[in-house]
Amino acid sequence: MLEKSGENVQAVPVAKRMKVKDLGELNPDGSSASLIDVLHRMCVFREMGDTAGVAGFLARSGQGGNSSLWLVAQAVSEILPDGEKEKQLMQGLLNQREQLQSGGQARLFWHGRGDYVPAGVFRYVLAAPGESVATTAPGWS
């Protein structure tokens, strides 16, 4: 989704993309949407602060495990100027990649010392809400 103004071509702002119905969803024939459309859809969810929406969309579209998607997101992030909204959205998505690919289920775990720590401190463990997970970090008993 690009706009051309004279000799300049730029991505359509997120505010306009939010209005595009079925952006990035599977095509009627079941084929995948373009990676750019998928990234645009992810940015719309990110802009709304809807991490669960991004994770659900990735699961529904089958794109979460697509390494090409994440490479394109990284490339787009690198070429955009610092401080630009699109760059911030892409970087946010890239920073949440593992959580998004796992369906948004990553969470913090109680380690019994009075506070919570990220799951990765133990070892990468995912648990659905309501499940209990017993594991320890190196040096903790």
Report helix, strand or coil for 11.
strand
Domain ranges for the chain, please list them: 2-101, 105-141
What is the rounded distance in angstroms from the CA atom of residue 69 to the CA atom of residue 30? 18
Looking at the chain, how many residues does it have? 141
Report helix, strand or coil for 2.
strand
Q: Tell me the Cα Rg of the chain.
A: 18
pLDDT of residue 70: 93
Burial of 128 per CB tally in 10 Å (0-12, 13-18, 19+): exposed
**CA torsion angle 16 19 24 26 (round to 10):** -160
pLDDT tens series, the chain, 141 aa:
567 778 877 767 666 776 778 888 888 898 888 898 899 899 989 988 898 889 989 988 888 889 999 999 999 899 988 988 889 999 999 999 988 887 655 444 444 444 444 444 443 344 445 555 544 444 444
| Token pair for 87 | 């760059």
